[in-house]
Amino acid sequence: MLQRRALGRVQQSTWRRIPLSAGRVLRRCASSEAGENNTGHISTSPNEGILFFNHLLPNNAQWYNRIAGLLDRRRFSILQDKAKFERIGALSPTRVVQDAVKESKLGLGHVDVVEVLPRVNEAGAFLKFNYDAATDPASVAEAVRQHLEEHKVRPWWNPFISVKASLVLGRPWVEDLYRLPSQRVKVEFLPSEPGVEAAELTQEQLYSFFRPYGKLADVVAQPSDSKVVPRFAYLDFTRVGKAIMAKNCLHGYTVSPDQGGGKSGTVFRLTYEKKQRTGWILDWMSAHPRIVIPLLVALVTGITVAVFDPIRTLSIRAHITRTFHIEDNAIFRWFKTQGEDLINRVKLLGHATDTNEAGMQVVWDDRRPEIEQIQSWLMETADTFIIVQGPRGSGKRELVVDHALARKRASHRVLVVDCKPIQEARGDSSTIDAAAGQVGYWPVFSWMNNISGLIDLASQGMTGVKAGFSETLDNQLSKIWNQTATALKSIALEGRKKDDKDANLSDDEYLETHPECRPIVVIDNFLHKSNEDGASLVYDKLAEAAARWTSTNIAHVIFLTNDVSFSKSLSKALPDRVFRQIALRDSSLDTAKRYVINHLDFNANEERAAHKEGEEQERLTPSQKRADLQELDEVIPLLGGRLTDLEFLARRIKGGETPTRAVNEIIDQSSSEILKMFLLLGSEKREWSAQQAWSLVRDLATAETLRYNEVLMLDAYKTEGEKALAALEQAELITVQSVNGRPYSIKPGKPVYQSSFRRLVADKVLAAKLDLAVLTESIAAENQSIDKYEQELHLLGKLPKQPGELTGRIQWLLGKVAKSQGRIEGLEREGAGLKGVLGREY
């Protein structure tokens, strides 16, 4: 209220006579905030003095005054009514001087107040007074100081300060510029007369002049090598009020020669200097990187945890529950239902079929025990993994996701993590993006990893240690899986209520006793390309996360893999658990035949219903119209029960080919793939040789199964044979069957491969070429053995005497040499026949 009154409309004053005391009058001259006649100075006669009062107004009152001036020029300033100013300020300077003169014991004479000049910008006011010959200005100032000391006046807006008054020693410069007071005052040293050199005062001298007006924080002298003139110094006061008092009392003060002002004296010119407060912060931060950088890391981490982690949890939860999927919207489902008839008619007219559904019901009926087994395991409380292992194309994902988890998918409690895009991503950033996309982790700042790596490098150069901004792929994947665990737990507990019968149980106990509430995580393509560099990190982190999800009872985990060596990777995560495993094999021949027929007859009932009712002759199904389907009994044993191959066969038959021709085409295509991928010279990164692959192809062409250990005794597998077999199994040329963890047999990777093997062996030129390469390798191995035997015989022959004990060893070596030589001769004869084939055939 007082500030609004201070900024209100005032009237311009004129020469007035105001009673002071008995028989005395006050003459107040017309003046403004810019001094008398807007000159910027206050003129004084020899018998007049000036006092300055501070803290009469709030320090920010100048802003209200200027805003009022912009809104209404007539209400611009309270300065034009001095009487009103004295009423709204912390005290009345006129009354203070009057009371101080009356109460003073200094024997003051006649003192009159001439005028009061407010300084709104500096929250104070000047007071001009006159005195008689028996009084001096210093005595008046001392009397006022003692009076204010005895009667402290504390402003209502700041009760921690009090009003002070001091005698103005210089010639104050009163101006109405838009300059705000500050704690720093710049002191410039000017000569008292033109052409005379001014003296630069020392810090001790400046301290003695300015310390009486308030405590100084620092005195900063001008650098000695500075060329700036006039010379200057900076005075930093602890408070703005003290700087205001010093500036108004000493501006224009002349330092005499006796006081150190030089020969002709030095004049002070004081101005406020805005102190830069940001520079020292930046300087301190750059000077203390060991403290600042860890604090920044902690700040960024705190912001991430407080802001982004809840968002990411909600994002993962929305991804699992399909909150933002338009397919689950009620309006969208209504439109979809209304349009299904039209879509089905278009499909019938175009003879379109859904190849994913055509004939698959036969397969699912055949695999009903596996589906029911998975569903029963999901109802148990055991915290272990469920592994569904089978060759590529055996329908693992469809079996688990579309059939075993159909009800869970309808309730949106199934998370499918496909390892294939994660493993095939190139670079850490792409891998992080792929992993985040599989679970709905958002926002993800993978691009920041490169920038933070540069920051870490710069920090290590400056401080010798890394700042910790950049995070490894290991840490980033751990964050993604940990946030996924939080989202899975929230989904598992969302149906829990306070009035349940087991409401007294903890969250862990509740989840342990209610396995049906846990969401299900399906990890597809586990160990996809596991032999590549960096694959172990991705799969190990995923296996560890899955182990935590199952052991804490927040989710069931089902692994879908083609790799038969999955136990090596998963045993690291759960070493004390027995895995629940389902091995999917190829369909039986009867199921395969029914699959092909059902695939051909898919939508046949709808097509018959689409014809006119008046048509008497009933249309036959596609399978009934084709007489060549009797060939299926002969060709399906050649093709086998792999679903991908059966679907390929059905498509070819539907395209107009006969079953025999279609199967022959499939066998030829498989033969070409085997020849290109395994038998011809290729990349040096392959872990098997063409001779090793051909040995298996040749033997499996005549036998459906080979003994594992018998294959290791072949010449081609005597060096790192098990490693080559594992690589060939990973490449799906063969399938290694195990019992109790021990490999015991080898079969073709696909059923159709056995027919392809026979076709490759039937090619005389190809067989002769590869058999010759195998013979050449065997001959080289025998020659190497003979060299070893001959070296030992040569060493024994150098002995001076031949002990009888060496006779057996020599005979054994000679027998080995003869046996190897005989075998070499036999292999060469066999090779000669193969060379003859290559010379005759094309």
CB atoms within 10 A of CB 143: 22
- Main-chain dihedrals φ then ψ at residue 133, nearest 5 degrees: -70, -25
Please give the average per-residue pLDDT across 24-31, as a whole number.
43
| Per-residue confidence (pLDDT) for residue 70, from 0 to 100 | 55
| Per-residue confidence (pLDDT) for residue 358, from 0 to 100 | 54
Q: Which segments of 411-519 does DSSP mark as H helices, in order?
A: 419-424, 428-439, 448-463, 473-492, 507-513
Q: 181-275 belongs to which CATH class?
A: alpha beta
Locate the domains of the chain by residue range. 1-173, 181-275, 672-762, 772-840
Q: How far is residue 250's CA from residue 268's CA, in Å, rounded to a whole number? A: 7
Task: Give the residue with greater pLDDT, 422 vs 58.
Answer: 422
Q: How far is residue 545's CA from residue 478's CA, in Å, rounded to a whole number? A: 8
The SS3 of residue 552 is: coil
Q: How far is residue 33's CA from residue 54's CA, in Å, rounded to a whole number? A: 15
Helical (H) or strand (E) element with 318? helix 309-321
Please give the average per-residue pLDDT across 222-229, as a whole number.
92
Please give the average per-residue pLDDT across 363-370, as a whole number.
88
Q: How far is residue 840's CA from residue 817's CA, in Å, rounded to a whole number? A: 35
Percent of the chain whose pLDDT exceeds 90 = 49
| Per-residue confidence (pLDDT) for residue 348, from 0 to 100 | 44
- Fold for the domain defined by 672-762: Arc Repressor Mutant, subunit A (1.10.10)
Q: By the 8 A CB rule, do 644 and 592 touch? A: no
pLDDT at 12 exceeding the cut of 70: no
User: What does the pLDDT look like over 64-74, one tens digit per residue?
Assistant: 555 555 555 54
Q: How far is residue 402's CA from residue 546's CA, in Å, rounded to a whole number? A: 21
Q: Prior bond to 46 cis, omega within 30? A: no
Report the phi/psi class of residue 740: left, alpha or beta, with left for phi > 0 and alpha for psi in -120 to 50: left
> Residue 254 contacts by C-beta under 8 Å, 6 or more apart in sequence?
170, 192, 261, 265, 266, 267, 268
pLDDT at 521 exceeding the cut of 60: yes
Residue 583 forms beta bridges with which residues? Answer: 389
| Per-residue confidence (pLDDT) for residue 63, from 0 to 100 | 60
- Main-chain dihedrals φ then ψ at residue 797, nearest 5 degrees: -70, -20
Q: How many helices (H) and strands (E) does the chain have?
A: 34, 19
Q: Prior bond to 803 cis, omega within 30? A: no
Q: How far is residue 2's CA from residue 537's CA, in Å, rounded to a whole number? A: 72
> Tokens 């992993």 belong to which residue?
435
- The identity of residue 545, as a single letter, is A
> Residue 129 contacts by C-beta under 8 Å, 6 or more apart in sequence?
48, 49, 50, 51, 97, 111, 112, 113, 114, 140
pLDDT at 542 exceeding the cut of 90: yes
The SS3 of residue 255 is: strand
pLDDT at 480 exceeding the cut of 90: yes
| Per-residue confidence (pLDDT) for residue 352, from 0 to 100 | 43
Q: How far is residue 48's CA from residue 830's CA, in Å, rounded to a whole number? A: 136
Closest of 685, 45, 533, 607 to residue 349, by C-alpha? 607
CB atoms within 10 A of CB 654: 19
Task: Give the residue with greater pLDDT, 268 vs 602.
Answer: 268
In the sheet where 580-583 sits, what is the strand order? 414-418, 520-526, 556-561, 386-389, 580-583
> Residue 65 contacts by C-beta under 8 Å, 6 or more apart in sequence?
6, 7, 76, 77, 78, 120
Is 463 exposed, middle or buried (CB count within 10 Å of its CB: 0-12, 13-18, 19+)?
Answer: middle
Please give the average per-residue pLDDT across 30-55, as a whole number.
82
User: What does the pLDDT look like over 112-146, one tens digit per residue?
Assistant: 999 888 888 888 999 999 999 888 999 999 999 99
Closest of 653, 670, 541 to residue 602, by C-alpha? 653
Pairing of strands 520-526, 414-418: parallel
pLDDT at 648 exceeding the cut of 60: yes
List the single range of 77-81, 300-304, 439-443, 513-517 with lowest mean pLDDT.
77-81
Please give the average per-residue pLDDT across 687-695, as a whole number.
92
Pairing of strands 165-167, 48-53: antiparallel
Q: How far is residue 745's CA from residue 737's CA, in Å, rounded to a whole number? A: 5
Q: How far is residue 699's CA from residue 761's CA, in Å, rounded to a whole number? A: 9
Closest of 561, 247, 619 to residue 394, by C-alpha? 561
Please give the average per-residue pLDDT across 423-440, as a whole number.
92
Q: How far is residue 88's CA from residue 2's CA, in Å, rounded to a whole number? A: 6
Please give the average per-residue pLDDT across 645-673, as a whole number.
92
Which range among 83-87, 102-106, 155-159, 312-316 has the greatest average pLDDT?
A: 312-316
| Per-residue confidence (pLDDT) for residue 382, from 0 to 100 | 81
- The identity of residue 367, as a single letter, is R
The SS3 of residue 54 is: coil
User: At 393, is the pLDDT very low, low, confident or very high (cuts 50, 70, 90)?
Assistant: confident
Report the phi/psi class of residue 717: left, alpha or beta, with left for phi > 0 and alpha for psi in -120 to 50: alpha
Please give the average per-residue pLDDT across 453-462, as a whole number.
62
> Tokens 């009760």 belong to which residue?
159
| Per-residue confidence (pLDDT) for residue 454, from 0 to 100 | 64
Please give the average per-residue pLDDT across 809-830, as a whole number.
94
pLDDT at 81 exceeding the cut of 70: no
Task: Give the residue with greater pLDDT, 709 vs 569.
Answer: 709
Please give the average per-residue pLDDT across 467-483, as a whole number.
81
Q: How far is residue 141's CA from residue 148's CA, in Å, rounded to a whole number? A: 11
Q: How far is residue 270's CA from residue 250's CA, in Å, rounded to a whole number? A: 8
User: At 612, is the pLDDT very low, low, confident or very high (cuts 50, 70, 90)?
Assistant: very low
Q: What are 473's two structure tokens?
A: 């792929």
Is 142 exposed, middle or buried (CB count within 10 Å of its CB: 0-12, 13-18, 19+)?
Answer: middle
Q: How far is residue 259's CA from residue 814's CA, in Å, rounded to a whole number? A: 122
Which range among 165-174, 300-309, 685-694, 799-808 has the greatest average pLDDT?
A: 165-174
Q: How far is residue 638's CA from residue 501's CA, in Å, rounded to a whole number? A: 60
User: At 700, is the pLDDT very low, low, confident or very high (cuts 50, 70, 90)?
Assistant: very high
List the single range of 177-186, 213-222, 669-678, 698-707 with lowest mean pLDDT.
177-186
pLDDT at 2 exceeding the cut of 60: no
Domains 181-275 and 672-762 share a fold: no
CB atoms within 10 A of CB 650: 23
